[in-house]
């Protein structure tokens, strides 16, 4: 059974929110030096606004053309994913220097962030087909509409959050940075390989999202009270909504009662969009702009940066992406293994000058100190 008429309108609203609010918020938390190409806010909105308008038009050539504009800008964003994996720099919340190979993708969260960059393009492809009235790969139009929503929230937002907590969220953060991209890929494969594969993907994705929410809340300890409240709400909401997702997936392979598509959209979909994605990204933005907590590594992309303290264009930054002025008197503890791997990098030069007694600080007993 498909979506009720009112549920279709609800899904359209959620997809529009993802295009116009959630993705721009998320892009603002990604370091601008990582290679992703959308360095100005208007570039994204040049495609997102027509895409959002297409959701409210009758299916046909006009709606398809507007949807294609969104797909185009989403493909440009996806093209930055390989460069992000190869950038060899720092990601949000990570204090470890670049680590070579696939292990570095997990430690820095690069694999999860790259997944986030790709998922809007999957949603965009579903949008174009659905607005054209085409059953892409044989899927019903309602399924395509739900795919648009899924890959903005369980795709983009969840993968991005997993990437952001990878460096500062301990083992839970690193596990999330693997489980969320892996679960997303398995769910996508399940669309073609069968319901059991989709159920397995839902289980992996659920575990990853729970770990990401837990790691995000832990990383906010001692930070802004409003941000901590937002992350607490996000975690509680996610615990419930992903149980619904597991139940729904299980109900297609086992005799388990589960909600209809209409009520999944009204419960799981709305709560994930507002309670998880929006709350988490707003909390992360607030933590970055108002006090100690997760910070963007590297320069924030122009036009997407926070307006908070230390986010001004041209603000001096240390090698870890910290604002030097804000970091005065602070010490960032570096893992001993990371220090070993940092040999040969320009860390000493950037932090303490090229010789003893240099300018901004020095590494002493595994601690990066600023005067």
Q: What angle do CA 297, 302, 304 make, to 5 degrees?
A: 80
> Could you tell me how many helices (H) and strands (E) the chain has, helices first?
18, 3
User: CA distances (Å), 307 to each of 91, 109, 345, in order?
Assistant: 20, 25, 31
Q: What's the CA gap between 106 and 90, in Å, rounded?
A: 12
Q: Domain residues for 176? A: 5-290
Give the C-alpha separation, 268 to 286, whole Å: 25
CA atoms of 47 and 330, how far apart (whole Å): 41
* Residue 108 counted as domain residue: yes
Are 165 and 109 spatial neighbours (Cβ–Cβ below 8 Å)? Answer: yes
Number of residues that make up the chain: 371
Instruction: Pick the more confident residue, 128 or 355.
Output: 128
pLDDT above 70: residue 161: yes
In 3D, which of 288, 279, 273 has the Cα closest to residue 155? 273
pLDDT band with cut points at 50, 70 and 90 for residue 103: low
Over the chain, what is the mean pLDDT? Answer: 75
Indicate if 204 and 283 belong to the same structural domain.
yes
- Structurally, how many domains does the chain consist of? 2
pLDDT at residue 367, rounded to an integer: 31
Query: Residue written as tokens 């999202």?
Result: 209
- pLDDT, position 310: 36
340, with CB counted inside 10 A (0-12, 13-18, 19+), is exposed
pLDDT of 107: 56
Residue 365 sits in the same domain as residue 223: no
Are 169 and 68 found together in one domain? yes
> Is the confidence at residue 5, as pLDDT, over 50?
yes
Residue 370 scores a pLDDT above 60: no
Residue 198 clears pLDDT 60, i.e. is over it: yes
Q: What is the C-alpha separation between 361 and 371, in angstroms, rounded?
A: 6
The string of DSSP codes covering 300-357 is: BPTTTS--STT-STT--B-TTS-BHHHHTT-EEE--HHHHHHHTTSSHHHHHH-SSTT
Q: Is the pLDDT of residue 322 over 50?
A: no
Q: Is residue 308 part of a domain?
A: no
Residue 295 belongs to a domain:
no
Pair (358, 231) in one structural domain: no
pLDDT higher at 50 or 307 = 50
For residue 332, what are the β-bridge partners? 368
Q: By C-alpha distance, which of 237, 327, 228, 323 is closest to 284?
A: 228
- In this structure, are 124 and 228 located in the same domain? yes
297 lies in some domain: no
SS3 percent helix, strand, coil of the chain, rounded to 5, is 65, 5, 30
Q: Is 296 inside any structural domain?
A: no
239 in the same domain as 126: yes
pLDDT for residue 238 is more than 70: yes
């Amino acid at each position: 059974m498909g979506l009720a008429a009112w549920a279709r309108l609800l899904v359209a609203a959620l997809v529009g929110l993802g295009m116009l609010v959630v993705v721009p918020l998320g892009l603002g938390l990604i370091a601008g030096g990582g290679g992703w190409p959308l360095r100005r806010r208007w570039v994204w909105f040049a495609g997102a606004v027509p895409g959002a308008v297409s959701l409210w038009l009758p299916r046909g050539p006009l709606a398809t053309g507007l949807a294609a504009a969104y797909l185009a800008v989403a493909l440009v964003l996806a093209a930055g994913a390989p460069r992000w994996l190869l950038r060899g720099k720092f990601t949000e919340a990570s204090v470890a220097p670049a680590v070579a190979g696939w292990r570095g993708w997990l430690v820095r969260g690069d694999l999860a962030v790259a997944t986030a960059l790709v998922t809007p393009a999957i949603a965009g492809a579903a949008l174009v087909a659905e607005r054209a009235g085409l059953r892409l790969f044989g899927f019903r139009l309602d399924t395509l509409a739900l795919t648009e929503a899924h890959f903005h929230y369980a795709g983009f937002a969840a993968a991005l959050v997993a990437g952001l907590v990878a460096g500062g969220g301990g083992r839970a953060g690193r596990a999330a940075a693997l489980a969320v991209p892996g679960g997303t890929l398995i769910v996508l494969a399940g669309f073609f390989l069968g319901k059991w594969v989709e159920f397995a993907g839902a289980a992996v994705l659920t575990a990853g999202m729970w770990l990401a929410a837990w790691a995000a809340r832990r990383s906010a300890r001692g930070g802004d009270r409003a941000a901590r409240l937002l992350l607490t709400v996000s975690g509680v909401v996610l615990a419930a909504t992903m149980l619904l997702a597991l139940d729904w997936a299980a109900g297609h392979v086992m005799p388990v009662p589960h909600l209809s598509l209409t009520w999944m959209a009204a419960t799981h979909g709305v709560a994930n969009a507002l309670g998880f994605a929006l709350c988490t990204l707003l909390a992360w933005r607030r933590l970055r702009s108002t006090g100690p907590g997760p910070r963007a590594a590297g320069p924030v992309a122009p036009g997407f940066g926070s307006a908070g303290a230390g986010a001004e264009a041209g603000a001096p930054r240390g090698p870890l992406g910290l604002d030097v002025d804000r970091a005065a008197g602070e010490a960032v503890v570096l893992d001993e293994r990371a220090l070993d791997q940092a040999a040969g990098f320009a860390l000493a030069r950037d932090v303490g000058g090229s010789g003893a007694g240099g300018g901004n600080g020095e590494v002493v007993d595994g601690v990066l100190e600023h005067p």
